[in-house]
A and B are shown apart, each in its own frame.
Chain A
Amino acid sequence: MGKLEHIQTLSKHIGRVWSVAWHPKGDALATCGEDKTIRIWAKEGKEWVNKVILTDGHKRTIRDISWSPCGNYLASASFDATVAIWDKKSGEFECSATLEGHENEVKSVAWSKSGHLLATCSRDKSVWIWEVAEDDEYECAAVLNAHTQDVKKITWHPHVDLLASASYDNTVKIFKEDPSDNDWICIATLSSHESTVWSLSFDKTGNRLATCSDDQTVKIWKQYLPNNSEGVPTTDGEASWKCICTLSGYHTRTVYDISWCHLTDSIATACGDDIIRIFKEDEGSDPNAPTFSLINSAERSHTQDVNSVKWNPKVPGLLASCSDDGDIKLWNFIE
């Protein structure tokens, strides 16, 4: 068994905190929520303190935030239907661009690994891909209308320009650019969850994807390339994604977020029963039918729903979470 040790509670936001995002260097944390602000936290000595507050960028709840891989830009997605891009070129964080186009609430935003692409998704059922041009210009490269309901979350593959989206229509879809005509296409639909898929996270290789849902389960999917040795069928020369594991019976309410650590391979989940859970693949488990075990002792993590969890990209075991209780908490996971 492992232990999730509480390090510090950061209480500054007013109301529900929706999302946390670590800076790629791991030394700063951005958070956002119902109070329409973004706060940036960094370590001073032993304590994490609130260094910056970004206000006036949005008129409604800020649902999600994402740092660019270079760490110089921060993107925020809001219920006001816009996405704001913040940078520090002037020495202080300023909003340098506002992306408009979605018809209603933008629910998630994510930069690709290369930093050249930005993806957004909305209750309007669409996923947009934006190309980052020179001089803070963002051009819409694609509007993807593959989902039949709200798109809750999007995430990029850790190495290549492959995008995954999670939806209220109970599915996950995978998109990539068709090299023949530069059109973005949906290459796979992952159907198995029985209710809204709230979030998703790739492992460090990008060959596996973990998804979490209102159906109170977590699922692990594996990519099978054409002509794979396991004999899993593929179509049109595209990889197929197969559900290779379902974790059920652990969560007692909706699972709102999931984070797969690229340093330790641990999976953390944020659940509507106020608990953060940590899972790890069992040693020697079959790569095509793996088994995972719950490895932290269940204890009350927050006093209300946990909305987001993220592993620090540089410090193994360091986890950030946020909740409807208005708190952000930092944890150290000791195996």
Chain B
Amino acid sequence: MFLSLFQRKSETTVASKPSYPEIDCEKLRNIIYGFIRTIKDPEKPNTLEELKVVYENGVQVRKSVAENLNVVRIEFNPTVPHCSLATLIGLCIRIKLEQTVPYKFKLDIFIKKGGHASENEINKQINDKERIAAAMENPNLKKVVEQCIQED
């Protein structure tokens, strides 16, 4: 049940983290859109771009100078206002970008205003990183997300 390691030597000064290159907002915006446009709809054979769930001007990137952060805002529009898969689509967008974009950024995802009957609840859920982390430890959900975000 346990494993104790008694270390004689200090191993605490570890090699520095991979440093993230600086990137221009417009370039980052293009890279991000390039990744989300090919995400597949969980139910249909089409991509999110083909279904107009995501679109180029739904992606905004701003530089927060004081904190030196790139803040990315993505808006998406579910196909119907009662779309039961809106949360899953938000999850796919977040996971794909976290796994693929080689730059550091902060991400906020929102449903297009008026685009869903429960938009506030869904927005809150898809921006709560603890809920996202827990969802991705659910093997069934993880599998569905991986299928949707897989590049052909």
Contacts and interface: CB of A to CB of B under 8 A. Distances in A.
Interface of A: 8-12, 16, 34, 44, 47-57, 60-61, 63, 79, 92-95, 104-105, 107, 123, 150, 152, 168, 195-196, 214, 252-253, 272-275, 298, 300, 303-305, 324-327
Contacts of B20: 303
B7 A93 contact: no
By secondary structure, the B interface counts as loop
Interface string B108-152: 000000000000000010001111011001000000000000000
By secondary structure, the A interface counts as loop
Given A53-B3, A92-B2, A92-B4, 8 more contacts: A9-B13, A51-B6, A52-B2, A94-B2, A123-B134, A196-B128, A273-B64, A324-B129
Contact of A49 (B7, B66, B124, B133): B7
A51 B5 contact: yes
Interface in B40-82: 64, 66-69
B67 A252 contact: yes
Interface of B: 1-7, 10-14, 17, 20, 64, 66-69, 104, 106, 124, 128-131, 133-134, 137
Nearest first, the 6 closest Cβ-Cβ pairs linking A and B are A11-B14, A47-B10, A273-B67, A60-B137, A105-B134, A79-B134
A304 B104 contact: yes
8 contacts: A49-B7, A50-B11, A51-B7, A56-B1, A56-B2, A61-B133, A195-B124, A274-B69
A252 B67 CA distance: 9
A61 B12 CA distance: 23
Nearest to B106: A253
Given A56-B1, A325-B17, A10 B12 contact: yes
B12 A327 contact: no
Contacts of B6: 51
Contact of B3 (A44, A55, A273): A55
A168 B124 CA distance: 9
A49 B11 contact: yes
A275 B68 CA distance: 11
Contacts of A214: 128
Contact of B5 (A53, A300, A327): A53
Contacts of A298: 66-67
A93 B4 contact: yes
